[in-house]
A = this chain, B = another copy of it.
Amino acid sequence: MFAEILTIGDELLTGNTIDSNSAFIAQKLTEKGYWVRRKTTVGDDVEEIKSAVREILKRGPEVLVISGGLGPTHDDVTMLAVAEALGRRFVLCEPCLERIRDFYRRLYEEGYIDDPELNEGRKKMAYLPEGAEPLENTEGAAPGAYIEHEGVKIFVLPGMPREMKAMLEREVLPRLCEREFIQKKLLAEITDESKLAPLLIEALERFNVRIHSSPKGFGKYIGIIIFGESEEEIERAKAFLEGRGIRFEEGW
C-alpha cells in the first residue's frame, strides 16, 4: 500500500517557486509509515489536474494528498477539477461559507483589508466536491477537503506553506493509520560510493530492507538511508555492514 502526492501551481512549473510543500508532505507521510511512490506537479489548469488525478487513482494508492490552487483567483481551480475528476457535483458548503465570511470580517476589523463583503472570488472557496468533508484552515480562508473515493483517501490542501502545514498536522495525519515502515539515516565513513556498492547489494540480498545512498562529494562520508518494516531488521542490516568494516555515524 502506498501514497501519492500531487502539487498544483504554475509557479512550480516555471521554477519561480521550489516545491518544498511536497517534501514536507512526503516527510510526514514517511514518518507515519507510508511509502510515497510518486510525486506529480501540474499547473493551474482544470484539464491537467483532472488527468493527473485520474491517472493517480488508476494506480490505486491508499492515500492521495493534493496541495495548491484553493484560493480566490481565476487560476485557483483545484477543487473544481477534483470534483470533475471524481465525477462528483461541485456544491456549496454552507458552514464553509460562514467561516469564510467570518474570516474576512475579522481581517477587515483588524485593518488588513478594506472590504469585508463576500465577493465571487471569496464565495468560490466554499464550493467542494459533493460528499467531501471540509478540513479546517486555521491559517487562511480556503477550507481543505477530505474525500473517500473508491477506497482512496483523498486530501485536498491549500498551497500556502503555513496553511498547508497546519492542515496536514491537524486534519490529515490524525485520519491516517500508524504503520510500521521506518527509516534510519546514517553517515558511512568511506572514501567513495562505488566501493560501498557491492556491500550494499549483499545487505539487500540478506535483509528485508531498502537502502538508499547519497554521495556527499568525495569527502569522508556517504549518506545512507535504510528503510525497513521493523527497526530490528534495519539494525541487523546495519550490524552486517559494520561487520564488513563500514563505520557509521547516526543522522545527517
Contacts and interface: CB of A to CB of B under 8 A. Distances in A.
Interface of A: 9-20, 22-30, 35-44, 48, 52, 55, 71-75, 107, 112-115, 119-122, 160, 183, 185, 191-198, 200-201, 204, 210-215, 218, 225, 227
Contacts of A114: 191
Contact of A15 (B12, B27, B52, B218): B27
B38 A40 contact: yes
B37 A13 contact: yes
A235 to B, nearest CB: 19
B38 A71 contact: no
Number of copies: 2
A29 B193 CA distance: 31
16 contacts: A10-B210, A11-B225, A13-B35, A13-B36, A15-B28, A15-B29, A17-B214, A37-B48, A38-B48, A72-B192, A73-B197, A73-B200, A74-B211, A112-B218, A119-B198, A120-B194
Contact of A41 (B13, B38, B183): B38
A196 B113 CA distance: 13
A177 to B, nearest CB: 18
A42 to B, nearest CB: 5
Given A15-B23, A27-B14, A73 B193 contact: yes
B194 A74 contact: no
Contact of A197 (B48, B121, B225, B227): B121
A213 B73 contact: yes
B74 A204 contact: yes
Contacts of A38: 13, 40-42, 48, 52
